[in-house]
Chain A
Amino acid sequence: MAQRIRVLLAKPGLDGHDRGIKVIAAALRDAGMEVIYTGLRQTPDMVVEAAIQEDVDFVGMSILSGAHMTLFPEVLNLLKEKGAENIHLFGGGIIPDKEAKQLEEQGVGRLFGPGTSTEDIVKYIKSVASERSAEAMM
């Protein structure tokens, strides 16, 4: 039987808007994933440390404050530095398309905007996970 997908959901920075991330947490759980939520006001260090300690497959960050161009690259770099680039970083929030593309080019996974269906996020995580396990078997 396949192992359950483990996801760390994080709120980095000073942003306190946690409605979205809690909805996502509930939806991912309902989809059978293991979800760990960091709580608010995490620094990039704290997020990466938690991700490694909890041995997760995914880190999802929610940023609605406009600080995404600072926080996503920092977490991405820290994951690389700590040799944890196998952890897939994705996210959501108020992120203009152009900036979402820039971040995706830097190696961040999908960034979901307002109005996204939780089903799409579940599908996305599952498809990335199955690609990875296929790669691992080769």
Chain B
Amino acid sequence: MSDTTETKKPTIVDKVTDAISKPAKPKMEDLKAEWEKVRHTADTLEGHKFITVSSVPIKDLYTPEDMADIDFETEIGYPGFTPYTRGVHPSMYRRRLWTRRQFSGMGTPEQTNERYHFLLNQGQMGLSVAFDLPTLMGYDSDHARSKGEVGVCGVAVDSLKDMETIFKGIDLGEISTSMTINAPAAIILAFYIVVAEKKGIKPDQLRGTLQNDILKEYIAQKEWIYPPAPSMKLIADTIEFGTREMPLWNTISISGYHIREAGSTAVQELAYTLADGFAYVEAGLARGLDVDEFAPRLSFFFNSHLDFFEEIAKYRAARKIWARHMKEKYGAKDPKSYLMRFHTQTAGVSLTAQQPENNIPRVTWQAMAAALGGTQSLHTNSMDETLALPSEKAALIALRTQQLVAYESGITNTIDPLAGSYFVESLTKQTEDEAEKIFEEIERRGGVLAAIEQGYFQRELAKSAYTYQRAVEKGERVVVGVNKFVMDNAEIEIPLLKIDESVEREQIESLRQLKQARDNDKVQRTLGELKEAAERDDNLMPYFMECARVYATMGEIVDVLRDIYGEYEEPPTI
């Protein structure tokens, strides 16, 4: 038997043979010098710059030098473990794909119910409800301010009756439902709980997400009702109620999506959103809850914009930052409290009205970026959204796009396939460092609420949006079909969905019938009890549920609180 561990001393002949067959390993600095001699150093091509969609300059090449400070164990690691750079689950999409969840809702509750049955039959896994503007602002369909807006950009909900119609024939014990609503979120949640209750389903069986993120409304989307302080009280009510009664429900979806749509850069989206998240954690703590009781039900919602790698770096950095701050600053002990789960929607603002079919490939790589960034669920936009609400055909293509990415592209075979890329790791770190600087700025201004009052976020967004627009107009940034490869008279051949004006009439009529049929004395009594509870500063969730049960309307409930809390008015800043 030979001893394989013993090595024979090389003879001089061996050494010479080796030197001839294996040239000496080249040195990195020599390779770099060689390359630098021949590289093309111009910083534009055909007039456009090498910058991300957020105007971050990108180098022509990334090498191990860019990863010198990035340690595998502390900065990258394994999925499902600190620092969570690579994803929140140990097996990611090899165990379960992301949830394909398309946001929809329009017209009457009946029409929306029909669309939901269609989407569920096409393989959609969860529902996501879009409400119309009057509902989002707490006005009933018959209010003067609702004129022209009823059922237009979502479904109209005036009372429990409408919610019952929307979810007709859908098992709320099985499905997970996301509801995009903020200022009156607690009231809609109460409606949803009561719809389920009437079918014998308890709150602790309900799965889903309430957007319920008022801070980003003041920052970006601007659908508020009350001033910030009472709005935060209502959110704390839902956090407290959810913690006790709804263990499977995500109480807030802390949203960067709208911040990005309103003009922010990727880093601003990340930093403002996480800063909002920390503010909600502080609100929960102020209620006397333990961080590990409620933080596991906080979820996030990000945008997936055009710049593929910048977006992937953003998601990877976001998970790292959340985990670190939750542990170090807020003392979270339960991993569920500090692992960041998020939903993604492709960027509406990146779609063009010109040559709208081009939006299909745009959405495709945005969906790929979200998947490569480790999203838990995804909405892909329809190609016609710059023109109108999605038609059925466009909505189906959008859903198919993410099914194609999930099942045909191969990117789900391995976890976090871009890890270790000099560029992606370096950009992830850079994004993280830049976000930390913004947290410091917000802190310096006295926190998120103070910064909102100072108009800080609003000004920063307007500035970034104008910078972007100017870059497009100067041709530094190419938008295909808009400032390059333009086609005149390109006919749009996709059928547009138009909300019929009869929706408003029908909805108002249905509301009138409701008010006739219900027990109006009981409604008044229940609204009175809500008023007293609000004055005592009680948790209002049980009172909202009682109002739902007697078919008080959204507008009636919101008005009770409008009288007590007042209405928010933003000073116009440009």
Give A residues with C-beta under 8 Å from B.
9, 13-19, 22-23, 25-27, 35, 37-41, 43, 65-67, 69-71, 94, 96-97, 113-115, 117-119
Q: Collect the chain B residues with CB atoms within 8 Å of residue A40's CB.
A: 222, 570, 572
Does B149 contact A19, Cβ atoms closer than 8 Å? no
Q: How far is the CA of A59 from the CA of B346 in the complex (A)?
A: 33
What are the 5 A-B residue pairs with the smallest beta carbon separation, nearest first? A70-B148, A16-B222, A39-B572, A67-B148, A66-B152
The yes or no answer to B473 lying at the interface (CB within 8 A) is yes
- Looking across the interface, which residue of chain A has its beta carbon closest to that of B386? A114
Q: Collect the chain B residues with CB atoms within 8 Å of residue A18's CB.
A: 222, 262
Chain A nearest CB from B358 CB (Å) reads 11
The yes or no answer to B147 lying at the interface (CB within 8 A) is yes
Q: How far is the CA of A35 from the CA of B387 in the complex (A)?
A: 28
Chain A nearest CB from B439 CB (Å) reads 24
Q: Collect the chain B residues with CB atoms within 8 Å of residue A114's CB.
A: 351-353, 386
The yes or no answer to B67 lying at the interface (CB within 8 A) is no
Q: Collect the chain A residues with CB atoms within 8 Å of residue B223's CB.
A: 14, 16
Q: How far is the CA of A126 from the CA of B425 in the complex (A)?
A: 49
Q: How far is the CA of A115 from the CA of B498 in the complex (A)?
A: 22
Q: How far is the CA of A41 from the CA of B149 in the complex (A)?
A: 13
Selected A-B contacts with CB under 8 Å, 25 pairs = A9-B574, A13-B133, A14-B133, A14-B139, A14-B146, A14-B149, A14-B223, A18-B262, A19-B262, A19-B349, A23-B462, A23-B469, A26-B466, A26-B574, A37-B574, A39-B569, A39-B570, A40-B572, A66-B388, A70-B147, A94-B387, A113-B353, A114-B351, A114-B386, A117-B473
Q: How far is the CA of A33 from the CA of B263 in the complex (A)?
A: 23
Q: How far is the CA of A17 from the CA of B351 in the complex (A)?
A: 16
Q: How far is the CA of A35 from the CA of B261 in the complex (A)?
A: 24
Q: Digit string of B546-571 for contact with A (CB within 8 Å is 1, else 0)?
A: 00000000000000000000000111
Does B145 contact A115, Cβ atoms closer than 8 Å? no
Give B residues with C-beta under 8 Å from A.
133-134, 136-137, 139, 145-149, 152-153, 217, 221-223, 261-263, 349, 351-354, 386-389, 461-462, 465-466, 469, 472-473, 479, 481-483, 492, 496, 498-499, 569-572, 574
Does A94 contact B386, Cβ atoms closer than 8 Å? yes
Q: Collect the chain A residues with CB atoms within 8 Å of residue B389's CB.
A: 66
Does A119 contact B473, Cβ atoms closer than 8 Å? yes
- Looking across the interface, which residue of chain B has its beta carbon closest to that of A73? B148
Q: Collect the chain A residues with CB atoms within 8 Å of residue B386's CB.
A: 94, 113-115
Chain B nearest CB from A10 CB (Å) reads 10
Does A115 contact B570, Cβ atoms closer than 8 Å? no
Q: Collect the chain A residues with CB atoms within 8 Å of residue B352's CB.
A: 114-115
Does B499 contact A66, Cβ atoms closer than 8 Å? yes
Q: How far is the CA of A131 from the CA of B45 in the complex (A)?
A: 41
Does B353 contact A26, Cβ atoms closer than 8 Å? no
Taking A14-B137, A94-B387 as known contacts, 11 extra A-B pairs with beta carbons closer than 8 A to each other, sorted by chain A number, are A13-B133, A16-B222, A19-B263, A40-B570, A67-B148, A70-B147, A70-B148, A70-B149, A94-B388, A96-B496, A115-B386
Interface residue SS majority, chain A: loop
Q: How far is the CA of A50 from the CA of B261 in the complex (A)?
A: 29
Q: Collect the chain B residues with CB atoms within 8 Å of residue A115's CB.
A: 352-354, 386, 479, 481-482
Chain B nearest CB from A122 CB (Å) reads 11
Chain B nearest CB from A106 CB (Å) reads 15
Q: Which residue of B147, B153, B574 contacts A25 across the interface (Cβ within 8 Å)?
A: B574
Q: Collect the chain A residues with CB atoms within 8 Å of residue B571's CB.
A: 39
Q: How far is the CA of A54 from the CA of B353 in the complex (A)?
A: 34
- Looking across the interface, which residue of chain A has its beta carbon closest to that of B351? A114
Best-surrounded residue of A67, A113, A119 (most CB of chain B within 10 A): A67
Q: Collect the chain A residues with CB atoms within 8 Å of residue B461's CB.
A: 19
Q: How far is the CA of A114 from the CA of B469 in the complex (A)?
A: 12
- Looking across the interface, which residue of chain A has its beta carbon closest to that of B569? A39
User: A16-B221, A19-B261, A96-B387 are known contacts. Are A118 and B149 too (CB-CB below 8 A)?
Assistant: no
Does B462 contact A26, Cβ atoms closer than 8 Å? yes
Best-surrounded residue of B147, B261, B481, B572 (most CB of chain A within 10 A): B572
Chain A nearest CB from B147 CB (Å) reads 6
Q: Which residue of A41, A66, A69, A71 contacts B153 across the interface (Cβ within 8 Å)?
A: A66
- Looking across the interface, which residue of chain A has its beta carbon closest to that of B139? A14
Q: How far is the CA of A113 from the CA of B356 in the complex (A)?
A: 13
Q: How far is the CA of A113 from the CA of B482 in the complex (A)?
A: 12
Chain B nearest CB from A93 CB (Å) reads 10
Q: Collect the chain A residues with CB atoms within 8 Å of residue B498's CB.
A: 96
Q: Collect the chain A residues with CB atoms within 8 Å of residue B354's CB.
A: 115
Chain A nearest CB from B217 CB (Å) reads 8
- Looking across the interface, which residue of chain B has its beta carbon closest to that of A40? B222
User: A16-B222, A23-B469 are known contacts. Are A69 and B148 too (CB-CB below 8 A)?
Assistant: yes
- Looking across the interface, which residue of chain A has its beta carbon closest to that of B459? A22
Q: Collect the chain B residues with CB atoms within 8 Å of residue A38's CB.
A: 572
Q: How far is the CA of A25 from the CA of B386 in the complex (A)?
A: 21
- Looking across the interface, which residue of chain B has its beta carbon closest to that of A20? B465
Q: How far is the CA of A71 from the CA of B149 in the complex (A)?
A: 10
Q: Collect the chain B residues with CB atoms within 8 Å of residue A66's CB.
A: 148-149, 152-153, 388-389, 499
Chain A nearest CB from B381 CB (Å) reads 13
Q: Collect the chain A residues with CB atoms within 8 Å of residue B222's CB.
A: 16-18, 40
Chain B nearest CB from A27 CB (Å) reads 8
- Looking across the interface, which residue of chain B has its beta carbon closest to that of A63? B148
Q: How far is the CA of A67 from the CA of B149 in the complex (A)?
A: 5
Q: Collect the chain B residues with CB atoms within 8 Å of residue A9's CB.
A: 574
Chain A nearest CB from B135 CB (Å) reads 10
Q: Collect the chain B residues with CB atoms within 8 Å of residue A96's CB.
A: 387-388, 496, 498
Q: Collect the chain B residues with CB atoms within 8 Å of residue A67's CB.
A: 133, 147-149, 152
- Looking across the interface, which residue of chain A has its beta carbon closest to that of B264? A19
Does B465 contact A118, Cβ atoms closer than 8 Å? no
Q: How far is the CA of A98 from the CA of B354 in the complex (A)?
A: 15
Q: Collect the chain A residues with CB atoms within 8 Å of residue B147's CB.
A: 67, 70
User: A25-B574, A114-B386 are known contacts. Are A14 and B134 too (CB-CB below 8 A)?
Assistant: yes
Best-surrounded residue of B147, B263, B354, B472 (most CB of chain A within 10 A): B147
Q: Collect the chain A residues with CB atoms within 8 Å of residue B349's CB.
A: 19
Q: How far is the CA of A43 from the CA of B450 in the complex (A)?
A: 29
Q: Collect the chain A residues with CB atoms within 8 Å of residue B572's CB.
A: 37-40
